[in-house]
Structures are given as C-alpha cells and as structure tokens.
Structure 1
Amino acid sequence: MSITVCLPRSAAKRVDEAVAEAMAPFAGDGVGGVERDLWNSYRICGSLGLPVLAGHEGDPRLIADRPRWDGSLEPALPGECAGGPRVLIDFRDALRAEAADHAGRVWDRWQEEVSRHPDPDDESVFFHRHLAAAGTRDSYETSQEAADYRAQPAVRAWADVAPVLARPDIAEHFSFGWDPVGIGQRSREEYASTYEFSLLPLRNVLTLSGWWYELGDAPLHGACHGPLECVHEPDFGMEHERAQAYLIALPAETLLVNVRCHV
C-alpha cells in the first residue's frame, strides 16, 4: 500500500530521517508503539506517486525516488514524483470542478422535479412500514411498500430523468440505483462538495500531527497504543474527501512524500 506522509517545511533537508520518524510508531513486528502492525518495510517511491503541477517537473524541490534493495530505481510515470512541497503537487482542479459541477447540476434538477410534485417521503419511511407489517429486509424490494415508494410522483419523474444524469465514472452514486430523495436533504454546496474529490485517486495519509489514515479503517494516532486509550482529536473524519481536503489546505511549503509500504 502507499501512504502520503506529511512533513513540515523544516524537514526539507532531512527527508529520509523525517519520514523514518513519522513512520516509526506504525512499524510491524512489535517495534512500533501502535497496536496494529501497519508496515514491515517501506520506500520513498514515485511509482503511483504524486502528480507534479504542470510546468514544474524540473523543480529541484521535488523529491526523487529512493533506490530499491538492489540499488535500482523503479521508473515513475511521466508527470509523477515521490514528493515535494504541497504547492508543486497537482490536485487536479479541473477534475474536482467537473465532479462538483455535475453534482450541482443533479441537485438543481432534483429541485426542479420536486417543485412540480408533492414532497416525496424518504424510502426509509416505506422500508420501516414494510418491517412493521412483518416484512423482512430481503422481501422489501418486491413488496407493496417498495412499489408505493416508487409510485410517488417525484420519484417516478426522477426515474425518467436519472439516466441522462448518470455519471458512474464520477461516483457509483450517480447511477441512481438508490433513494433520490436524499439529494435534497443537503444544501447544494454540501451535496456538491461530497463528490468534489470523486475523480481523484484514493489516498492514505499520515498527517502532520501523527494520525495514520488508511482508507476503510479508523485513524490511529502515533502517540497512542490503540484507539481505546487515545485522547487525541483526529484531524478529520474517515471519508476520502476529507483526506483530500486536508492535503489541499496544508501550507504551501508542507512536504508531501509518497511512501510505498510492504504490509
């Protein structure tokens, strides 16, 4: 697995040592202080690394690959690097704008459809009604309650609109195989920001304050053995978009280093 290690600008002249210090609490084989073994070897690596901002590929502040065990280098893809100041990393503004713009258009269209019909009830209302009538989770989809949900005028109208707006390349959410009523339960800004980072690659992050964020798992703090005894406040929630937003908001000279771990 790979993780983006965040370092203060003061680490620019001692990157290897600073990465080692940040990674140490999470080492495997009982060496690190954290109860979960998260790596047993690692290397600063540009393969599947961080995209360089166009026009800055030759900037001397970029961090080069470290050799493999046999002294060879793993070729990085064009336009990628092993790390550098946050200001030199391309966070794909165009892709973020595309995803957010599409989500905004979906929100607008849902509001337009709802304005023409009575406000629909959320599908959970029909699901719980089904359970109250001795139905089960498995039997809901073919039940009368499910049919009643889909028969609501706004939901029925949305079924005709949704195929035109489907963008599963942005997020599976935009296949609309779910309850669309939730679209209007958030503001336009909140809804769009949820999908802003959908087109960006998923990233694990080790934050400046020592939080290890690995996608799908609760964050771990390097100063604590485990979550039960940890008294530190996490930097952000577990969601992919929160990790991306954290990286973008870091000071410009913060170092981001791509580290490939053997786990």
Structure 2
Amino acid sequence: MSITVCLPGSAAKRVDEAVAEAMAPFASDGVGAVERDVWDSYRICGSVGLPVLAGHEGDLRLVADRPRWDGSLEPAVPGGCAGGPRGLIDFRDVLRAEAAGHAGRVWDRWQEVVSRHLAPDDESVFFYRYLAAGGARDSYETSREAADYRAQPAVRAWVDVAPRLARPDIADHFSFDWDPVGIGRRSREEYVATYEFSLLPLRNVLTLSGWWYELGDPPLHGACHGPLECVHEPNFGMEHPEVQSYLIALPADTLLVNVHCHV
C-alpha cells in the first residue's frame, strides 16, 4: 500500500530522516509504539505517487525516488514525483470542477422534477411497510409496496430524466440505480462536496499531527498505543473527500512524500 506522509516545510533538507520519524510508531514486529502492526518495510517511491503542477517538473524541491533494495530505480512516471511541497503538487482542479459541476446539475434537476410533483416518500417507507406486513427482505423488489414506491410521480419522472445525467465514470452514484429521493436530503453545497473528489485517486495519509489514515480503517494516532487509550481527536473523518480536503488545505510549503509500504 502507499501513503502520503505530510511533513512540515522545515523537513525539506532531511526528508529521509523526517519520514522515518513519522513512520516509526507504525512499524511492525513490536518496534512501533502503536499496537496495530502497519508496515515492515517501506520506500519513498513515485510509481503511484504525486502529480507535479504543470511547468514545475524540474523544480529542485521535488523529492526523487529512492533506490530499490538492489540499487535500481523504477521507471519514471511522466509528470509524477515521489514528493514535494504542497504548492507544487497538482490536485487536479479541472477534474474536481467537472465532478462538482455534474453533481450540481444533478441536484438542480432533481429539484426541478420534485417541484412539479408531490414530494415523494423515501423508499425506506415502503420497504419497512412491506416488512411490517410480514414480507421477506429478498422478495421486496417484486412486492406491491415496491411498485407503489416506483409509481410516485416524481420517481416515475426521474426514470425518464436520469439516463441523460448518468455519469458512472465520475462515480457509481451517478448510475442512478438507487432511490433518488436521497438527492434532496442534503443541501446543494453538501451534495456537491460529497462528489467533488470522485475523479481523484484514493489516498492514504499520515497527517502532520501523526494520524495514520488508511481508507476503510479507523485512524490510528502515532502518539498512542491504541484507540482505547487515545484521548485525542482525529484531524478529520475517514472518508475520501475529507482526506482530499485536508491535503488541499495544507500550507503551500508542507512537504508531501509518497511512501510505498510492505504490509
């Protein structure tokens, strides 16, 4: 697995030592301070690393790959690097704008559909009504209640609209094979924020304050032995948009280093 290690700008002249200090609490074989073993070896590596802001590919502040165990280097990734100051890393503003723009259009279109019909009930209303009447979960889709849900005018109208807005290349969500009523449960800003980062790669992050965020797992704090003993508040939640927002908000001189770990 790979993780983006965040270091203060002052670490630029001692990258290897600073990365080692940040990674140390999470070492396996009983060496690290954290009870969960995370890695047993690692290397600063750009093969799945960080994209460089256009025009800055030759900047001397960028971090180069470290050699493999046999002294060889992996083939360079065009436009990529193993690390560098946050201000030199491309966070794909164009891709973020494309995803955010599409999410906004979906939200607006749903509001238009709902404005012409009675506000529809969420599918859960029909599903639990079916269960209360003795129905089995696995037969709901063919039930009268499911048909009643789909017969709501706004839901029926959305069936005609959705194919023109389908963008599964941005997110599976935009396949629209689910209950659309949920679109309106959030404000436009909240809905857009949920999908703004959909086109960006998922990243694991080790924050400046020593929190290890591996997507899909609760964060670990390098200053504490385990979650039960930790009294500190994580920097943010575990979801992809929150990780991306954290990275983007860092000061421009913050050093981001991609580390490839053997786990």
TM-score category, normalised to shorter length: over 0.9
> Is 125-134 or 19-28 further displaced after alignment?
125-134
Map of 2:185 onto structure 1: 185
Map of 1:234 onto structure 2: 234
Residue 5 of structure 1: SS of its match in structure 2?
A: strand
Question: Residues 104-253 of structure 1 correspond to what in structure 2 (within 5 A)?
Answer: 104-253=104-253
Map of 1:33 onto structure 2: 33
Structure 2: runs of 5+ lacking an equivalent? none
Question: Residues 91-102 of structure 1 correspond to what in structure 2 (within 5 A)?
Answer: 91-102=91-102
How many angstroms apart in 1 are the aligned matches of 2:132 and 2:182? 22
How many angstroms apart in 1 are the aligned matches of 2:96 and 2:11? 30
In the TM superposition, what whole-angstrom CA distance separates every residue of 1:5-27 from its partner, at most 9, and x where no partner exists?
Answer: 00001101111000000000001
Residue type matched to 2:73 in 1? L
Identity, % of aligned pairs?
A: 86
Q: CA deviation at 1:136?
A: 2.4
Map of 2:42 onto structure 1: 42
Residue 224 of structure 1: SS of its match in structure 2?
A: coil
Residue 212 of structure 2: SS of its match in structure 1?
A: strand
Residue type matched to 2:68 in 1? R
How many angstroms apart in 2 are the aligned matches of 1:44 and 1:172? 32
Whether the aligned pair in 2 keeps the contact of 1:28 and 1:38 (CA below 8 Å) is yes
Structure 1: runs of 5+ lacking an equivalent? none
Q: CA deviation at 1:47?
A: 0.6
How many angstroms apart in 2 are the aligned matches of 1:231 and 1:114? 45
How many angstroms apart in 2 are the aligned matches of 1:136 and 1:259? 48
How many angstroms apart in 2 are the aligned matches of 1:228 and 1:145? 44
Whether the aligned pair in 2 keeps the contact of 1:48 and 1:76 (CA below 8 Å) is no
Q: CA deviation at 1:142?
A: 1.5
TM-score (structure 2 length as normaliser): 0.99
Residue type matched to 1:132 in 2? A
How many angstroms apart in 2 are the aligned matches of 1:147 and 1:34? 52
How many angstroms apart in 1 are the aligned matches of 2:160 and 2:225? 53
Residue type matched to 1:143 in 2? S
Residue 18 of structure 2: SS of its match in structure 1?
A: helix
Whether the aligned pair in 2 keeps the contact of 1:27 and 1:40 (CA below 8 Å) is yes
How many angstroms apart in 2 are the aligned matches of 1:160 and 1:197? 27
Q: CA deviation at 1:202?
A: 0.4
In the TM superposition, what whole-angstrom CA distance separates every residue of 1:82-111 from its partner, at most 9, and x where no partner exists?
Answer: 000000000000000000000000000000
Residue 139 of structure 1: SS of its match in structure 2?
A: helix
How many angstroms apart in 1 are the aligned matches of 2:136 and 2:97? 41
In the TM superposition, what whole-angstrom CA distance separates every residue of 1:188-245 from its partner, at most 9, and x where no partner exists?
Answer: 1110111000000000000000000001111110011111111110101010010000
TM-score (structure 1 length as normaliser): 0.99
Q: CA deviation at 1:76?
A: 2.5
Whether the aligned pair in 2 keeps the contact of 1:212 and 1:222 (CA below 8 Å) is yes
Matched residues, number: 263
How many angstroms apart in 2 are the aligned matches of 1:76 and 1:155? 50
Residue type matched to 1:117 in 2? H
In the TM superposition, what whole-angstrom CA distance separates every residue of 1:14-51 from its partner, at most 9, and x where no partner exists?
Answer: 11000000000001111111111110000000111000
Runs of 4+ in 1 over 2 A off after TM superposition: none
